[in-house]
Chain A
Amino acid sequence: MTTTNIAVKATQVHKAFGSLHVLKGVDLTVETGTVTVILGPSGSGKSTLLRLINQLETLTGGRIEVDGEMIGYKEVERGGQTVLQTLDDKDIARQRAKLGMVFQKFNLFPHMTALENVMEAPVHVAHTPKDQARKEAIEELNRVGMGDRLNYYPMQLSGGQQQRVAIARALAMHPDIMLFDEPTSALDPELVGEVLNVMRSLAKAGMTMICVTHEIGFAREVADQIVFMDGGVVVEKGGPEIIDHPKEPRFKDFLNHVL
């Protein structure tokens, strides 16, 4: 599907909420089939970066490309100049379909069962026939170990189980890239492992992943690239070895606090 081996490329990304300057020129390159873990203290802008990639927020400055295509805008000619024009809902929805997203608070649809949650987008967005969507949804739920909870409502599931259903729901749209926004932060400690296991197996299967997390152990084991952000900028990035040999004092400080 991809024409390039760069899945996500963010160039000098700025984001401001009113007068609050959250991202101050962030560069990020994620290669296809790799796992990038973004670390950083709260308020460093890591979640915002993820939400920008999925267009849940709009860019204030810079550009982001997903699979080589600029997101949110297109370039048009106006009076001999190239200017940006905002994309319409339809194009944005099409771009989003390449990305799956998992949220800290799961955000499962509470009025639907686990199976219905996973089937919702394939049936109503991708217009997959219901029988086929059901079959695929069951496959996805089996993959995250939730095959025996098909007809449970989210309220009847533990946090870890809900998050696994949420991952299956995102996978059901066959995304090229998966975004994880602190997927284990709302979980009781004993439930974190089951979610990380699912993410681990996804990474092994070659899924391109960008994870915002505080799970240093997971980052060290699974990540191909570590990005440490603080104060709206990327302070340090490199391979997983930088966790054990941080160069920047701020990264050292952060690791001392979380390890």
Chain B
Amino acid sequence: MAAKNTENDGLNIPNRIDALPVRRPGPVVAGIIVALLAVMLVYGMITNERFEWDVVWKYLFNENVLAGIGWTLWITVLSMVIATVLAVILAIMRKSINPVLRGVSWFFIWFFRGTPVYTQLVFWGLFSVLVPKLGLGIPFTSIEFWSIDSQNVVTAFRAAVIGLALNEAAYLSEIVRAGLEAVDPGQAEAAEALGMRRSLIMRRIILPQAMRIIIPPTGNETIGMLKTTSLVLAVPFTLDLQFATNAIANRIYKPIPLLIVACFWYLLITSILMVIQSRLEKYFGKGFEARPIGPKGQQTPLPGKTDGEPKDDVHKTNQATMVGLNA
């Protein structure tokens, strides 16, 4: 069912074709069946008494639940920020000419990607048992200038954030590395020829272009992180959304409605994150899409719409989209 083409209405085409669309009963029948099933599902959920929507409603804005959302968001944001910074450092180390830096980066990724995040969280929870004191001194001697009990440094909250961030950094650094490698090497050469130093080239030329490729999978990772925070009870950290709803469920013996409460909030936050992601994609995609850029009315016209010359496709190498990258 092709939409009617009205774009060239103003043109003088005397023998314009106005044909009937092809007959396709299949899609219509399939559409009706799927719509019917969807309506049945929603109706079943609403009318099923065992879902106990009144309980859902009662606890949807419970103060423990709202506090849980706050903690969940805070953990997500904090660990993602730390993970991103670490990931960029790891990815750059991985491409370093120094074999020690390359090796350490490789080992970090190998270890933190190769063990379950739940196990890592348990480990960080036990950190103060394993290393009771953190100190500053001369390595391999007993000289110590200053020390502190790890218990006071690695609190449950910090253990949760550290655990999630280190694990996430391992995944993200592979995403960052793929992004860096997708940038045309000619870009670095042009920048070098202009006298730019290595760090400046990374910051001003390579990273901004890599961001376009890094953002979509990082969005996925952020949403994944939001849900992974439900594992922090392994530390144990017990204030997040999942634990809060679960605690209420155990108290009133009604697990299903409280699961729905948790799902509702997770979905809402995920939806907001998706909006942020698409905004970011648009921002870092500037210059890569042949569409007018800038505020309405001041947009630069595209070639072809003005006196422009035919558009060249020499930058095809820069349009590479990443395929098949999965953390």
Q: How far is the CA of A112 from the CA of B190 in the complex (A)?
A: 14
Please state if B186 and A103 are interface contacts (CB–CB under 8 Å). Answer: yes
Q: How far is the CA of A153 from the CA of B303 in the complex (A)?
A: 11
Please state if A151 and B300 are interface contacts (CB–CB under 8 Å). Answer: yes
Known: A153-B286, A161-B309. A105 touches B204 (CB 8 A): no
Pick from B27-35, B114-122, B193-201, B229-237 the stretch touching chain A. Answer: B193-201
Please state if B300 and A89 are interface contacts (CB–CB under 8 Å). Answer: no
Which listed residue, B195, B312, B318, touches A188 by the CB 8 Å rule? B312
B25 at the interface (CB under 8 A from A): no
Number of A-B contacts (CB under 8 A): 110
A66 at the interface (CB under 8 A from B): no
Contact residues in A for B311 (Cβ distance below 8 Å): 155-156, 158
Interface 0/1 of B173-217, CB less than 8 Å to A: 000000000001011011111111110100011001100100000
Contact residues in A for B309 (Cβ distance below 8 Å): 158, 160-161, 191
Query: How many residues from A make CB contacts under 8 Å with B?
Result: 46
Please state if B312 and A153 are interface contacts (CB–CB under 8 Å). Answer: no
Which residue of A is nearest B212, CB measured? A111
Which residue of A is nearest B196, CB measured? A125
Contact residues in A for B200 (Cβ distance below 8 Å): 124-125
Which listed residue, A111, A124, A161, A166, touches B209 by the CB 8 Å rule? A111
Pick from A11-19, A90-98, A248-256 the stretch touching chain B. Answer: A90-98
Q: How far is the CA of A57 from the CA of B193 in the complex (A)?
A: 11
Contact residues in B for A106 (Cβ distance below 8 Å): 314
A36 at the interface (CB under 8 A from B): no
Which residue of A is nearest B200, CB measured? A124
Interface 0/1 of B298-310, CB less than 8 Å to A: 0010110000111
Contact residues in A for B308 (Cβ distance below 8 Å): 156, 158
Q: How far is the CA of A110 from the CA of B195 in the complex (A)?
A: 19
Q: How far is the CA of A154 from the CA of B286 in the complex (A)?
A: 11
Please state if B287 and A154 are interface contacts (CB–CB under 8 Å). Answer: yes
Which listed residue, B192, B289, B318, touches A96 by the CB 8 Å rule? B192
Interface 0/1 of A94-130, CB less than 8 Å to B: 1011011101011111111100000011001110000
Which residue of A is nearest B298, CB measured? A151
Given contact pairs A96-B195, A120-B194, enumerate 6 new A-B contacts (beta carbons under 8 Å). Answer: A101-B190, A109-B187, A110-B287, A124-B200, A125-B195, A153-B293
> Measuring CB to CB, which residues of chain B are less than 8 angstroms from any residue of chain A?
184, 186-187, 189-198, 200, 204-205, 208-209, 212, 284, 286-290, 293-294, 300, 302-303, 308-312, 314-315, 318
> Measuring CB to CB, which residues of chain A are less than 8 angstroms from any residue of chain B?
54, 56, 89-90, 93-94, 96-97, 99-101, 103, 105-113, 120-121, 124-126, 151-162, 166, 169-170, 173, 186-188, 191
Nearest 10 CB-CB pairings of A with B? A107-B190, A158-B309, A159-B312, A153-B287, A121-B194, A101-B193, A97-B195, A107-B186, A111-B287, A93-B195
Q: Could you pull out 26 A-B pairs where Cβ atoms are within 8 angstroms?
A: A56-B189, A56-B193, A96-B193, A97-B195, A99-B193, A101-B190, A103-B189, A109-B187, A109-B190, A109-B191, A110-B315, A111-B208, A111-B286, A111-B288, A124-B200, A124-B204, A125-B200, A151-B300, A155-B288, A156-B300, A157-B303, A158-B303, A158-B312, A170-B194, A188-B310, A191-B309
